[in-house]
Amino acid sequence: MTPEKLETLIFNNDREDLFVSAVSQLSEKERKTLSTHTNKLRNQITSGKAKADASKLVKRSIEKHSANYWGTQAYSNVQLAVLAFCPLSTVKRAIDFFSWRDNSAAFQIILDRKPAWLDDWLAFNLDQEFANVPFELVRGWMKEGICNKPTVEGYTRQFAWNLMAINHRKDQAPNKPISERLINEPDMIDDIWRLFEVENQAFNTESWLTNNAPANYETWPEALTKLADKGIIDRAKLLDASLQGLSNDLKQNQLSGFHKFHEQLAPTKTERSQRRAEYMALLFHKTGHVLKFSLKMLSQLERDKSLELTKFLIDVAAVFAHEAKGNAITALKLIARILKKEKDRVPCALPTMAEALRHPNADVQALAIELLTTYNEQMSDDFKSELLITADFVADANKPLLMSLLGKTNNTLGTISELNKVDSSVLSRQLSELSVLQRETLGLGNIDLEDDLKGDIQPLKPEIIKDKHFHMPDLLEPITEFDELIQALSHAVEIIDEPEDVERILDGISRLCGEYPREFDKKTSPLLKRINDGGSFETMKGLLGFGGGLLLSITDLVLTWLTGEFYQSKDTSYFSRTPSLDPMIVKVNNIKRRVYAKKPQQLLSFPTHKGGWIDPVTWVNRLNIAFANDAEFDRMDFNHSMLRLMPYGRKTALQLVRNLPENIETVVKFVLGESLTPEYKDRRDYDLWISACRSLDPNQDWSSYLSPLKLNDNYPNSIKPAYYEWNALTKVERGYKFPGLKVTAFAQSLIEPDADIQKNKTGFLSSLGRKLTGEVTVDRKLIPSAGFNATEKLKYIWSCDLGCLWINQWLSTLWPTNPDAFYVLAVTQQISRIDMDSSSFEPNFGFLSGLFEPNRVWSELAHLTLFLGLVGKDSDSRALAVDAFIEAVDNDLASQEIMAGILVKLTQAGWLKFNRLAEGLKQVTQVSATHRYFVSRMLQIWLPQIDLKLRNIHLVLEVLLDVQTALNQKVSTHVSESLKDLKGKTKAAITASRIVKAGSEASEIVRQIKLNLIASRLALVEVTEAQVRC
Amino acid sequence: MSTAIDYTYEYAFPSAIHTKNATQQFALATSSPNQVNPYFFEGRVRSPKIFGDMLLTLSEVVRTHFFLPRPALLDPVLTSSENLLRLEGFSGCCGVYARVDLPSNFFDGECLGRGTTNVDFNTPMRNALMRLRDSENVQFAVGKEEVALTKSEESIIEKKVKLPLRWIKGFSEVQAYQPRLMPKMEVTALEGLKFIRSLPKTAVPKQPSYAISRGRSVRFSQRPQTDAVKITGTHRVRIIEPLLLRAKSLRIWTDETNETSAWEVRFPVGSFFLMISPEVYRGFSGEGQVLSELAQPPSEQVIAQVRAQLKWQAQIQTADIANQLNLSVPEINKALSVLGSRGLAGFDVVNGYYFHRELPFELERVEEMQPRLKNARKLVEAGGITVLSSSCAEFREYEVPGKEVLHRVKLTESKDTCTCVWFSKHQGSRGPCKHILAAQITEDSRDLS
């Protein structure tokens, strides 16, 4: 055959049978001569590019299908040609897909050629992840005697899968049942034993495999059972193979298929007895469901009276090394059953029962203690001493039972070593020296030290933070050198370690943009190339981004600095900006303008400390320098900087104000604490005044104070503070994600102050009236505090900014004293993924960073953000929420009342997952007695307000039981009454009953905790006074 | 280049525990590359339960691939010396290293030979280990006397495995990490257990987690804080849970950059040491911590001299060797570091000593397996690396060709930097980039010339 003829056969032939007949008589030598040309043709087809010296036919054909060769007749033909002419190495490489149209053609070509490499190729191909030689062809070639039966695992996988015939089509003839095929081709019966050794689908029990199967469909277990019943397959061998298979390192679902098959074979009493050693060995299996099977079979053996009891009582201890509760409980029940009949075996069972005390589950421990109590009299003193060592491993709720079993009166419960000893008389004196207002601010208004600490400690009032107690955060060093900026920027393009890095870079570019050192281009060229290549945009972990919003603005800024050209990109389709970040986009764009004009200046809003805070003294120095150097006055930068001022140190800073323009100086002095009032002439600087007011008190209504400015303003967090309302509910999804699905929903709204008035003032006459009266309409874009609350119905779905971790972490630092606007964003994002795993594209855990700010008493939205993190499926958010909860208790920033209120609302929505909540609370309670007390009080406020018959509520009740036992405290009468309503044998009812009985009326631990809390609150007053003096 | 080599463990018998006259006799089968089955130890175990738990946990590590379902069945290696028996294992994913140290007073017995061997870990042996109780009399042997004398062909157990090159490479790389580890906290075993049990079981965080010290306990946290120890893949640490039920304390180690962590379970006698790589999907093999040493090794003569001093010591006294060879201690340490990367020495971070052991695998190719170093050498050979005039006494600055761009490499005493993507991303935490290595090699040759 000539190469031209070959090309015609490949490109001008739509019948594979013609190809087969054309090549059938060729000798191996002739085939070899066509091998290279075949390979070249194949490469041209797959690359979509014909070679320059290719024939017209080849060029024309390849051009026609250059974009998509897949599925073309030419491709099918060339693959057949590879089989017909090429050596093994090419066949291995080329035949990587199911790429010919007609299996019979491929079959015949190999049959005619009888290649010496067929065994090798099949062994190679069948062991590929996606083996593509049809099993029928392999069987056909085997029957024709041109290859041996492959011994590779892939053959067994294909064997299992092919006979299962899952991919049957309705238009095909019905498949033969497996048993029928095995009877017809008995050599395949030898292959079935490998099904228990190799990973395959034969014993897969997933339902999709049998869904829509025809009536005569047979699964592998059904077929094997049928053949065993008929005596065609050795039943004993099947029983053994299914047990032996469990010892192989195979996927869990295959293992479950093995023991289900074993049970399906229904071994007789004799058969079970013959395999008792194998069942016993499975006690050491690391897979839970195999252990369960083992216990089931051993239990059956015990009933059959053929269990080796002593060996079992020793070996069963291995079950307690697994944390699964069910198997451990089953094991203990089986031990109990055996010991009831065989009392002499108690001594060998005692160490096993003791081992169960080390199990992490409290129910397992409780059952073990119960069992040990039954055989108390047979326990030696030595054994009891050893048992005492295990007391440390036992859950708090079980300790009294264990101690009682061991006859110990001085139980180890309620250790208060972690708490300081506090002298209540000293506290009493200190409390009496406080004014009523001070006591209220400290949350100690209800406390009566004289009357045995009656009354609850209330949360701290937010005012305690204002201008008083301030935890000084770590300093933030600015970037002052060019090389350092390049290095920081190069790293930031790849990944932002912490959001403060962005602040340093923005400030660094702003202050160094006038410097063009020697070799600027050489030093920046690798960075510029990286950005132009796309950087690490796709990971959303770096400084730059695509699509739109803030990330795009920062990208433009960086490129403007690096190239000297002005970059101004537009938001692209599908991506939208986040409106509440608009003030920051304005700020970045202002920097960019200055960078383009090569006007360097330090940013006023660059934080001096972590958390977004600015030290007022440094701030005033910056202002003095800026105005002395005639720097451009950037209003957004200035307004933003005021929102970041620390409450601490303003008085000192006030003394340093020098020679600022009059209008600026007045605002600066006002924000630093000087008593000044705006006048009508200041209306042009209304944005400065509003920002200064919000800096002084974020939650105050400043309308009457700012009334001289005659402002028409209804934006939340402008003149008036923002209020938020929210509710949790369930709704039917109509959106783009999962239409029709019932999803968790959340309704929150921002209440605009005096919305009606605003509406009435939009008409022409109103505008005219405002002009006549000199009223000024406020532009929200100028006021960052109001801008942060901006909401807008946006056209596009994806927000690139909120998919970026550092931005989510950064939000709470933009206005350190009031990040509520960003908690609203957080809550909206969290609720949309409440039942979804954590996602790299929506890293919601970043929103929780704001909860770790020690200088902020938590608002309701902060509490809500915490709980949505705690009860969501997102594992990163959950773990971080636990941390935030723990720190909030440590720093005394959270409120049990608010938490309980939030939980009531979330419970009513019907989607709260109690298992997740309980897991989180459990971790919090493990930290210290104070944390246990906090959670106890929160639960006791919450639980009486909800329906205690809800599913899984027992998990939360178990937390309460543990806590009450550890605190040795009785629950309140109110809670006790609610719990008594739970009746019956449910888990919730049993736990509720234990809670009611747990603890004592007067707990010394709780008393100590309260005294410690009061002492720490009173210490705030001392710190405050010291700071004021300083 | 092939990513794995075919390797055959050839054991004379399967490791097993047999009961004989109320004594549990546990013989660990041995296999060395030259197909001898050494006989190293015979003695009575003083704490059988702890012994069983430690070996089981080691077995769990070597049987586990921590991010793929298919486990790699790669047997541990045992090093025998008069002072202790040391078993080392490496997970199939190359991200977890485990070591069991059994000092001589763990046994009533005697060391019969020194050396390193593979030891057979099989399922029946694991099951038997689970059954061990302290009340039992357990005799332990590494190898068998009769096997050492006569070997019957019929009883030979062959285990053919694909030994990934990254596994061998990681085994060496892990030694480079250990000298940098520092103890961060130590808590009682009970507190350690509480901590391990508090680690998330089902929903494992994707972000790194941390262990933070809180009073006398340690707490799981998701926040990076001062002195917190970073953990990625908490399931990898959970593997030590069974050991803490009977241990004395848990000591936690980390390096300066807080990238890797080590978990030392301490028993009254003996210890279990577990070290995890910086990320679940990153084995130790790709960490590049030995690259600088390999790029600027001591002379082959020094390496050979130090190697000649290795005599299966459990603790190599570097000062003594330095005296004998008339070299400085840093030179000895550098040579040991290179020998460590060749599998000829390990580092015992607990005692701060190198120890001699020879990994029973083909190790000549370790250096070949370092693509970054290979690429750096190519850069040097291709020329085009220039020292810049900005260089001074404090630092040397080089221009090294990159892809369509020239990178700037700055070599300083404290930290070498580069403008390439690799360095920008990792900041040196995953070893130097090829440009820094090329500059280092160039710098070395300049110094020599």
Angle CA(A166)–CA(A168)–CA(A174) in degrees, nearest 5?
A: 120
Element (H, E) at B41: strand B41-45
> Smallest Cα–Cα separation from A862: which of A902, A910, A834, A890?
A902
Q: Which of B204, B219, B402 sits opposite A927 (nearest CB)?
A: B219
pLDDT, tens digit (0-9, with 9 covering 90-100), for B129-150: 877 877 788 999 998 876 544 4
pLDDT at A360: 86
* Residues 6 or more apart whose Cβ sits within 8 Å of residue A411: A399, A400, A403
Q: Sign of the CA dihedral A251, A253, A255, A257?
A: negative
Please write down the HEC assignment for all residues of B325-347: HCCCHHHHHHHHHHHHHCCCEEE
Residues in chain A closer than 8 A to B427 (CB atoms): 491
Q: Which of A323, A487, A878 sits opposite B203 (nearest CB)?
A: A878
Residues in chain B closer than 8 A to A360 (CB atoms): 197
Q: How far is B131 from chain A (nearest CA, A)?
A: 6
Q: What is the largest CA-CA distance in chain B?
A: 81
Identify the weakest region by mean pLDDT among A62-71, A77-86, A377-386, A790-799. Answer: A790-799
Q: Are A75 and A99 in contact (CB under 8 A)?
A: yes
pLDDT bin (cut points 50, 70, 90) of residue A1028 is very low
pLDDT at A844: 92
Q: Where are the alpha helices (DSSP H) in B362-403?
A: 371-382
pLDDT at A1029: 40
pLDDT at A738: 44
Q: Are A487 and A481 in contact (CB under 8 A)?
A: no
- Are A876 and B207 within 8 A, CB to CB? yes
- The Cα–Cα gap between B83 and B104 comes to 5
Residues in chain B closer than 8 A to A315 (CB atoms): 131
Cβ burial A617-643 (10 Å sphere, 16+ → b, else e):
bbbbebbbebbeeebeebbbbbbbbbb
Q: Are B142 and B74 in contact (CB under 8 A)?
A: no
Higher pLDDT, B1 or A385: A385
Q: Which of A315, A522, A879 sits opposite B222 (nearest CB)?
A: A879
Q: Which of B71, B205, B408 sits opposite A879 (nearest CB)?
A: B205
Q: How far is A927 from chain B (nearest CA, A)?
A: 8
DSSP code for B188: E
pLDDT at A756: 44
pLDDT bin (cut points 50, 70, 90) of residue B152 is very low
Q: Sign of the CA dihedral A769, A771, A776, A780?
A: positive
* Stretch A553-566: mean pLDDT: 95
pLDDT at A474: 92
Higher pLDDT, A334 or B172: A334
The letter for the amino acid at A133 is V
The letter for the amino acid at A587 is K
Element (H, E) at B45: strand B41-45
- Are B425 and A318 within 8 A, CB to CB? no
Q: Are B121 and B76 in contact (CB under 8 A)?
A: yes
- What are B209's two structure tokens? 């987690």
> Smallest Cα–Cα separation from A63: which of A77, A47, A79?
A47
pLDDT, tens digit (0-9, with 9 covering 90-100), for A793-830: 655 556 678 888 999 999 999 999 999 999 988 988 88
Residues in chain A closer than 8 A to B245 (CB atoms): 358, 393
Q: Which of A486, A526, A880 sits opposite B223 (nearest CB)?
A: A880
Owner of token pair 């694991």: B126
Owner of token pair 């939208």: A576
pLDDT bin (cut points 50, 70, 90) of residue A772 is low
pLDDT at B281: 87
Cα distances (Å, whole numbers) of residue A564 to A316, A510, A521, A549, A671: 75, 14, 11, 22, 38
Cβ burial A234-268 (10 Å sphere, 16+ → b, else e):
ebeebbbbbbebbbeebeeebbbbbbebbeebebe
- What are B45's two structure tokens? 């175990």
pLDDT at A49 over 80: yes
CB pairs under 8 A between A and B: 98
The number of beta carbons lying within 10 Å of the beta carbon of residue A474 is 10
- Are B425 and A351 within 8 A, CB to CB? no
- What are A460's two structure tokens? 């701290």
The interface residues of chain A toward chain B in range 608-637, judged by CB-CB distance below 8 A, are none
3-state secondary structure of A489: helix
Q: Is A321 on the interface with B (CB under 8 A)?
A: yes
Element (H, E) at B261: strand B261-266
Q: Which of B205, B220, B427 sits opposite A491 (nearest CB)?
A: B427
Q: Are A200 and A157 in contact (CB under 8 A)?
A: yes
Residues in chain B closer than 8 A to A880 (CB atoms): 222-223
Strands, DSSP E only, in A202-352? none
> Smallest Cα–Cα separation from A633: which of A589, A664, A588?
A664
Q: How far is B298 from chain A (nearest CA, A)?
A: 32
Terminal Cα distance for chain A, rounded: 101
Average pLDDT over chain A reads: 86
- Are A526 and B408 within 8 A, CB to CB? yes
Residues in chain B closer than 8 A to A281 (CB atoms): 127
- Percentage of chain A beyond pLDDT 90 is 50
Q: Is A690 on the interface with B (CB under 8 A)?
A: no
Owner of token pair 């980039």: B433
Q: Which of A360, A522, A876 sits opposite B205 (nearest CB)?
A: A876
Q: How far is A771 from chain B (nearest CA, A)?
A: 54
- The Cα–Cα gap between A111 and A104 comes to 10
Identify the weakest region by mean pLDDT among A155-159, A408-412, B113-117. Answer: A408-412
- Between strands B137-142 and B23-28, the pairing is parallel
Q: Is A305 on the interface with B (CB under 8 A)?
A: no
Mutate to test the interface with A, among B61, B193, B222, B246 (most CBs of A within 10 A): B222
Q: Which of A491, A852, A875 sits opposite B206 (nearest CB)?
A: A875
- The Cα–Cα gap between A820 and A812 comes to 8
Q: Is A493 on the interface with B (CB under 8 A)?
A: yes
Q: How far is A456 from chain B (nearest CA, A)?
A: 27
> Smallest Cα–Cα separation from A790: which of A813, A821, A817, A820?
A821
- Are A491 and B424 within 8 A, CB to CB? yes
pLDDT, tens digit (0-9, with 9 covering 90-100), for A918-958: 999 999 998 889 999 999 999 999 999 999 999 999 999 99
pLDDT at B381 over 80: yes
pLDDT at A736 over 60: no
pLDDT at A679 over 70: yes
- What are A774's two structure tokens? 């000199």
Q: Is A477 on the interface with B (CB under 8 A)?
A: no
pLDDT, tens digit (0-9, with 9 covering 90-100), for B287-336: 777 777 777 788 888 888 999 998 888 889 999 999 999 999 888 988 88
Mutate to test the interface with B, among A487, A531, A885 (most CBs of B within 10 A): A487
- What are B75's two structure tokens? 């047997």
- The Cα–Cα gap between B168 and A417 comes to 49
Q: How far is A938 from chain B (nearest CA, A)?
A: 22
* DSSP string for residues in A155-191: HHHHHHHHHHTTT--TTSPPPPPHHHHHHHSGGGGGG
| Strand partners for B157 | B11
Identify the weakest region by mean pLDDT among A212-216, A426-430, A739-743, B33-37. Answer: A739-743
Mutate to test the interface with B, among A157, A244, A252, A522 (most CBs of B within 10 A): A522
Residues in chain A closer than 8 A to B52 (CB atoms): none
- The Cα–Cα gap between A752 and A763 comes to 19
| Strand partners for B11 | B157
Q: Are A78 and A62 in contact (CB under 8 A)?
A: no
pLDDT at B386: 92
pLDDT at A290 over 90: yes
pLDDT at B94 over 70: yes
pLDDT at B156: 66
pLDDT, tens digit (0-9, with 9 covering 90-100), for A597-627: 999 999 999 999 999 999 999 999 999 999 9
- Between strands A798-799 and A575-576, the pairing is parallel
Do you know the residue count of chain A?
A: 1030
> Smallest Cα–Cα separation from A968: which of A403, A456, A371, A448?
A403
3-state secondary structure of B391: coil
Residues in chain B closer than 8 A to A543 (CB atoms): none
- What are B142's two structure tokens? 């590494």
Residues in chain B closer than 8 A to A536 (CB atoms): 425
Dihedral pair phi/psi, residue A648, rounded to 5°: -85, 135
- Are A875 and B203 within 8 A, CB to CB? yes
Shortest CA distance from B64: residue in chain A? A249
- The side-by-side arrangement of strands in the sheet containing B137-142 is B16-20, B23-28, B137-142, B41-45, B107-111
Residues in chain A closer than 8 A to B194 (CB atoms): 926
Q: How far is B398 from chain A (nearest CA, A)?
A: 12
Burial class (CB in 10 A: 0-12, 13-18, 19+), A477: exposed
- Are A493 and B424 within 8 A, CB to CB? yes
Q: Output the pTM of the full model.
A: 0.81
Mutate to test the interface with B, among A284, A291, A319, A915 (most CBs of B within 10 A): A284
pLDDT at A266: 94
Cα distances (Å, whole numbers) of residue A761 to A701, A719, A755, A1017, B286: 21, 17, 10, 48, 67
Identify the weakest region by mean pLDDT among A242-251, A524-533, A651-660, A988-997. Answer: A242-251
Element (H, E) at B319: helix B318-325
pLDDT at A414: 46
3-state secondary structure of A283: helix
Q: Sign of the CA dihedral A391, A396, A397, A400?
A: positive
pLDDT at A95 over 80: no
Q: Which of B130, B198, B420 sits opposite A526 (nearest CB)?
A: B420
pLDDT, tens digit (0-9, with 9 covering 90-100), for A401-420: 888 888 876 444 445 556 77
Q: Is A361 on the interface with B (CB under 8 A)?
A: no
Residues in chain A closer than 8 A to B210 (CB atoms): none
- Between strands A711-712 and A776-777, the pairing is parallel
Cβ burial B380-402 (10 Å sphere, 16+ → b, else e):
beeeebebeeeeeeeebbbbbbb
- What are A871's two structure tokens? 């009860």
Shortest CA distance from A851: residue in chain B? B223
For chain B, list the domains and their CATH numbers: 4-164 (3.10.150), 177-284 (3.10.150), 291-356 (1.10.10.10), 371-448 (no CATH)
DSSP code for A479: P
